[in-house]
Amino acid sequence: MTLRWTALCIAGAFTFCFVSFAQTSSLEGDVKGEDGKPVTNCKNCIQIERKDIKGKYQCNIDKKGHYFHAGLPLGTYKVMVVIDGKVMDSADNVRTTLGDPKPVNFDLHAIKPRQAALQNAAATGTLTKEQTREMSPEQRAQVEKAMKEQQAAMAKNKALNDAYNAGMTAMQAKQYDQAVEAFNKAAEMDPKQVVVWAQLAEAQINLGASKTGPDRDQAMGKGLEAYQKALELKPDDAAYHNNYALALARVKKNAEAQAELNKAAQLDPSKAGQYYYNLGAVLVNTGQGEPACEAFKKALDTDGNYAEAQYQWGNCLFAKATTTAEGKVIPVPGTAEAFQKYLELSPTGPNAEAAKGMLSAINATLDTKYSNPSAPKKGKKK
């Protein structure tokens, strides 16, 4: 009896082992790295976690970029590629089956485009069920975070654009106090927007020009501060340096204005003549005659063919003329030449008649056949 019972137990044991072996499954796959090439000879780089009950397994990636793990109980798993302690990619809710190994491949090179596609689909509301199933909890969390950030950014951008557009509309209507309020609101929402600071500066300067006394000084000061903010964000913009210089000239900070124009001219030499001319025009309008003449001369030193600068320089020289007892005008040297040069460059320009009048006043020879040297020449008749 004893021997028979032992034999039955042994037979039962064999039966148990056979059934246990039949209920196992396996996983395999290929792993490509971020460079698109197989990941090779990576020890314990495949980590497998059972989801239905606790269980952890791991295996290597071989020299061909392939992994294989047999003897896994039938179940649901999360399969991860872990390199240098970092989870590079994962496949969640992998259900193993009897028979052939369950293939689970990884392509790390395609992770970023795939994640971008998922985030875009989530953000646009076109996320498919298949894409949702493919996402791990971590990916879902990332997508949800990206969606919330994008929605917040869209709301912020709309509010920012609304404030900026309101400021521009007020500027066009010359409602500078309303423009200042709108641009200040935009600057608070996003202090890194250089164009907002530049427009705020213009609004403040124009507002100051419409005021007097302390109110004028306060608005002008805030306008200069706004220009400084814009230049901190974009110090290589010649136009901003030019506009800042013109604002400085309005408050008679001529040395600082000259320094800013020098920067503008260095950054954009092709427009240097225009920058200095603009300064001269502002100085004239603010009653600063001598500094204005220096600016016009600087414009001509930079660009001798700047027509309007030639005319203004002629006026500067004409102001230094003397008159004899007989009433004859004695101009300083270069006066007639400046007006004549203007007429050569711009024979039909806005100051052409005035230039001719100046030449007549100083009894200079007036050439009535001025023509634009840059105009195309007429062909000879055959």
Q: Which CATH superfamily is domain 17-110 in?
A: Carboxypeptidase-like, regulatory domain (2.60.40.1120)
Contact status, residue 45 vs residue 39, Cβ threshold 8 Å: yes
Give the CA dihedral 207, 222, 190, 186, nearest 10 degrees: -20
Contact status, residue 273 vs residue 302, Cβ threshold 8 Å: yes
Please give the model's pTM, rounded to 2 decimal places: 0.52
DSSP assignment string, 97-122: -SSSPEE--EEGGGHHHHHHHHHHHH
Distances (CA, A) of 210 to 9, 176, 203, 382: 108, 9, 11, 63
Contact status, residue 294 vs residue 314, Cβ threshold 8 Å: no
Domain ranges of the chain: 17-110, 320-373
Which regions of 63-198 does DSSP assign to beta strands (E)? 66-73, 76-83, 86-95, 102-103, 106-107
DSSP assignment string, 5-16: HHHHHHHHHHHH
Q: What is the pLDDT along the chain (382 residues), one digit of tens a residue?
A: 444 434 433 444 444 444 444 578 999 999 999 888 999 999 999 999 998 888 999 999 999 999 999 999 999 999 999 999 888 888 888 999 998 999 999 998 877 776 666 666 665 656 666 666 656 666 667 666 766 776 676 667 888 889 999 999 999 999 999 999 999 999 998 999 899 999 999 999 999 999 999 999 999 999 999 999 999 999 999 999 999 998 998 898 988 988 898 899 889 998 989 989 988 888 888 888 899 999 999 999 999 999 999 999 999 999 998 888 887 888 999 999 999 999 999 999 999 999 999 998 887 544 444 555 555 555 544 4
Distances (CA, A) of 40 to 31, 32, 79, 82, 290: 8, 9, 18, 13, 78
